Amino acid sequence: MIKQRIILSVIAGLLMFTSCRKYLEQVPDSTWTDLSTPEKVTRLLGTAYPKSSYITFCEAMSDNVADKGVGQTERVNEDPFFFQDVRNDKEDSPEAYWMACYKAIAATNLALEACDKAGNTEAYRRQRGEALVARAYAHFMLVTFFSKFYDAATAASDPGIPYVTVPETVVTKQYERKTVAYVYEMIEKDLLEGLPLISDDAYTVPRYHFNRAAAYAFATRFYLFKKDYEKVLSYANQVFPNNNFGPNLRPWNTTYASMSPEQLWNQYTLATENANLLLAETASIYGRYGARYRYGLDYAHEINILTYNVTGGRYIYPVYYYGNQDYFVPKLSEYFVKASVNAEIGDPYVMTPLFTTEEVLFNRAEANVYLGNNNAVLQDLNLFASKRISQYNSSAHILTVNKIRNYYGISDVKTALIQTILDFKRAEFIQEGMRWFDLQRYKMPVTHYTVTGQTLVLTADDKRRVLQIPQSATSSGIALNPR
């Protein structure tokens, strides 16, 4: 299908928001003081997920973006593009994400305390499982952004982030960063304890909680980052025990192909969309400005990332634009919550897919590369391609080792297969921030060019690859990252 380019109307206006409270860990709303039943703990756990988005700053730091010369300018987009510490704490900033994660952690700790006070009985089994896995996830995301990326050779000495396991009881408590290795050990401990306790029938809408598939998907990401590939396979195969990945991938070249932008925006983050394993409500203006930021996807990057590929075919992703340079694939849209029924002010939110079927498939494929299971890798890559290539033809577009090596000009099979996976992921998750994780994992340099002629390079060992600890956290004894 030829890519569609139409001019869409621009949503105008920028709302002012009150800043978040600046401390390491927030105690949830006082209405959660009564946690005397499993049902009340379950309601509390609805707040156990970071209600802030990492997409804006991750995408701006990545190699998916360019200086378009014009567009919406906000610190949360501009500073990351220049590889600078973001100079505000508003929505979509690293500091807002830090605070949202620790607020989510506070909710998990209150839930776990309630489970313990109840005697940790069978009635609280599901709640305990969700709290443990959610606590592991929030800490995992924090250590991924605010510490050096996990490296087994240095993790025992690299500074981590505070792993908080008890509710806050003092105004300003002192915390230790300890090490990345320690944080990973604690994440794994919570994850392994929580996984067997997760039960899907505990929720009205499972996709808004760590259901079993989402929890296993998280495990595949954790162990992929840790390079424990056997465990990646084990957990990936438990996401869909019948190996029915195909019906649970987004149908981009079938059902989605006939949808309008409005329909795609409505469909992409639905809880009934099979590909969405875990969704989170995030306070964000990304749905409003994601395509309109000055530092974003432009025509050259769209052609490079979203057109022809290793299959010999073209991706089906529909690309639209505002004006001349604001390119986007309809995925994440804003929904606006008024301050009151008759109010004209309120807060914008974006429903964000935290884990998807596509990521699990990629994680399994990558693990199989390192385990030498090339046929399994090709099977997964061809399955993905069959859902993403325009007018897919199994004979013309099928991937083989030789076809991949020839396309990339790479003789080493492992390197060629990894490059294919990374390119597929880059296209699939465009404008979702996921590319940053792969850039970190493989220590790939990033180069940005400005319209004024500057060349900005983020090398593999650049200290700026680690986000800065918020200044507000220093009152709790948290040392800043070196610059």
* pLDDT on residue 31: 54
Per the document, the length of the chain is 483
Strand pairing class (455-458; 320-322): unpaired
Task: Answer whether residue 12 is part of any domain.
Answer: no
- pLDDT per residue over 266-300, tens digit each? 999 999 999 999 999 999 999 999 999 999 999 99
Query: Range of 277's domain?
Result: 30-335+345-476
Task: Answer whether residue 11 is part of any domain.
Answer: no
Task: Answer whether residue 420 is part of any domain.
Answer: yes
Contact 323, 425 (CB under 8 A): no
Q: What's the total number of domains in the chain? A: 1
Residue 190 burial (CB < 10 Å; 0-12/13-18/19+)?
A: buried
Query: Chain-wide mean pLDDT for the chain?
Result: 92
* pLDDT on residue 12: 27
Cα separation values, 42 from 202, 210, 223, Å: 8, 12, 27
Task: Answer whether residue 481 is part of any domain.
Answer: no
Which CATH number is 106's domain given? 1.25.40.390
- pLDDT per residue over 37-82, tens digit each? 999 999 999 999 999 999 999 999 999 999 999 999 999 999 999 9
Task: Answer whether residue 15 is part of any domain.
Answer: no
Range list of β-strands (E), 357-402: none
* pLDDT on residue 13: 29
Q: 440 vs 200, which has greater pLDDT?
A: 440
Q: What is the pTM for the complete model shown? A: 0.92
Task: Answer whether residue 318 is part of any domain.
Answer: yes
* pLDDT on residue 204: 83
* pLDDT on residue 337: 82
Is pLDDT at 154 greater than 50 in this prediction?
Answer: yes
Is pLDDT at 23 greater than 50 in this prediction?
Answer: no
Task: Answer whether residue 174 is part of any domain.
Answer: yes
Contact 198, 210 (CB under 8 A): yes
- pLDDT per residue over 215-268, tens digit each? 999 999 999 999 999 999 999 999 999 999 999 999 999 999 999 999 999 999
* pLDDT on residue 360: 98
